[in-house]
Structure formats: C-alpha cells, structure tokens
Amino acid sequence: MEVWTIVSAVWLSSWVMLMCRTYAIISRMIRTTPGGELIVRFKHLHAVIYAVCIFILTPFIWTLIINDVQRKAWCVTYVAQICRSKK
C-alpha cells in the first residue's frame, strides 16, 4: 500500500471524527450564547465553512479526538470568539 493512501485515510477519518465530536457541541453552545443569532440564521453556511477549515487544520488539532479536556477548551474558545461582538 502506498504512503499517500494511508495518510489520506488517516486524515479523512480524523476529520470525520473531529466534525462528529465538535460540531454538535458548538452548535448547541452558539444557540444559547448572545451574539450567535447570525450564525444560527445561516447554520448551513456555518457548517460548510467550519467543515472546510477543520479539514485544513486536522493534522494540527487531531488530539481533540481523544482528549476531552482539549475538546472542551476548543469548543468554548471557538464559541467565545465567534459570538463576541465587534466594537
């Protein structure tokens, strides 16, 4: 088996796990956070943008799959940054 087949399989499976384990938490948190109304209104666009960005970042944040503390910190920080108001 070629190396690129293994790398792409690991990358894709890690990306799927990241999406499954973080997006549901993030969408629930955004619904209850002030400032997230625009994201709730365009939830499908947010899902696509999040999926593309996470796909690019997957090799650097793969530890979120196995570490609950890091995943919680990622979700809380992401929601805080995406829902904050720009002054």
Give residue 84's pLDDT band: very low, low, confident or very high (50, 70, 90): confident
Q: Is the pLDDT of residue 87 over 80?
A: no
The predicted pLDDT at position 86 comes to 60
SS3 75: helix
DSSP secondary structure, 17-53, as one string: HHHHHHHHHHHHHHHHSTT-HHHHHTHHHHHHHHHHH
Which tokens is 36 given? Answer: 């997230």
The predicted pLDDT at position 85 comes to 61
Which tokens is 13 given? Answer: 């499976």
